[in-house]
Amino acid sequence: MDDIAYSFAGAKDVINAYGEFVAAIADIPATRLLGRAPEGMNSSGDSQQQDWSKRIKAMQTLELGPCLDRADIYLVQSALGKAEPSASYAFAPLDIETDKERAERFAKQMEAADKLAGLNAMPEQAFNRGIQSLMIAEGYLPELEAALSEIPDDERYGIVADPSVDDPTEGGGPDSTGAGGSGSETEPPVRVAANDATPRPLYVYRKLLNAGELVDWAQGLGVKTNPADQLHVTVLYSKQPVDPMAMGEGWSSDPDGGLVIKAGGPRALERFGEGALVLQFASWSLQSRHNEMVQAGASHDWPDYLPHVTISYEAPADLDLEAIKPYAGELRFGPEIFEPLDPDWKSKIAEA
């Protein structure tokens, strides 16, 4: 009788190789099919999971979706008793979003919305509705949909009613000749919508909240500066009388309505007029807001709008601007301030 010895050395490698072969044929990551940890140095398995999610998404869109579309025609009508063209479905998310990823996505969406608002590419009411739908669909603010449903549409979407529609002052009164009366010697008062205001020359600006930092920098160059509490950026200087209410309001992610110009970016020191020294900087938000108000009827007396802060009105004539590196620190501005335009504003500024 002979004894035969069997060796199973290498059997595990054979089984693993077979498992990987099956995973490749099935187009399923081996980490999911075999339930094993990802292999390789510093491998987290994220890439395999992303590939698997893409595969499932493609199957949902290209294979399962068309089947559901055909079946829903009958299923929805059977369940509701009538066809519902607006009915839709959505697949559950394949991954669980982390708090960090959700916050980053929200920040990017709001940044894109901020830029879109400045383009004036759509009516304000449509934009408001779209933003509200986005917030509801993403579930960023609990109970938002319920709260908005209790608000009238004109208030919810910022719809301005036409005062000429259903105007009680237009006919129908006993003293109105249009109603068959003898007429009144005094005309009925003109109805003014609640959102209207007397047109006037308008000045809109934002105060520089951290003006002390800019003042210290400029005085270090030997420049006699304007007082820190008077440093600001002009958003609009309109000699044309306009209705302030028609200018709307600037969109800001800051709850206090402020605006922050991050450190760095395009900056320049320039002389304006007689002795004025200004710090120019680039700001898409200020540029688009200015354009928005000009399109709403305001005027602008210069060829271009250049966001800037006037540092001084008595800059030394021998100050070599080419040799000075412009102030590159952060600029923090407060909310927009609307004021009647003061033609004599310059005489009221005292040098610091």
234 as an active site residue: the answer is yes
- Residue by residue, DSSP assigns 31-77 as HHHS--PPPSTT--SHHHHHHHHHHHHHHIIIIIHHHHHHHHHHHHH
Question: pLDDT at position 40, please?
Answer: 60
In angstroms, the CA 316 to CA 176 distance is 69
Query: CA 192 to CA 61: how far, in whole Å?
Result: 54
3-state secondary structure of 141: coil
Q: Find, among 167, 174, 172, the residue nearest to 189 by Cα.
A: 167
The per-residue pLDDT for 220 is 92
308 is catalytic: yes
**In whole angstroms, what is the distance from residue 336 CA to residue 257 CA?**
7
Q: What is the pTM of this model?
A: 0.46
Instruction: Name the catalytic one among 198, 232, 290, 300.
Output: 232
Per-residue pLDDT of the chain (352 residues; tens, 9 = 90+): 677 777 778 888 888 888 888 888 887 887 777 777 776 655 666 777 788 788 888 888 888 988 988 888 888 888 888 878 777 788 888 777 788 888 888 889 888 888 888 777 788 888 888 888 888 888 888 888 888 888 887 777 766 544 444 443 344 443 444 434 444 444 444 433 444 567 889 999 999 999 999 999 999 999 999 999 999 999 999 998 998 888 888 776 677 889 999 999 899 999 887 778 999 999 988 998 998 899 888 988 877 898 999 999 888 888 888 999 999 999 999 999 999 887 766 665 555 5
Q: For 84-238, where are the alpha helices, taking DSSP H only?
A: 99-119, 124-138, 144-149, 153-156, 211-219
Classify the C-alpha dihedral 237-297-280-329 as positive or negative: positive
Domains of the chain (ranges; CATH) run: 99-156 (no CATH), 200-348 (3.90.1140.10)
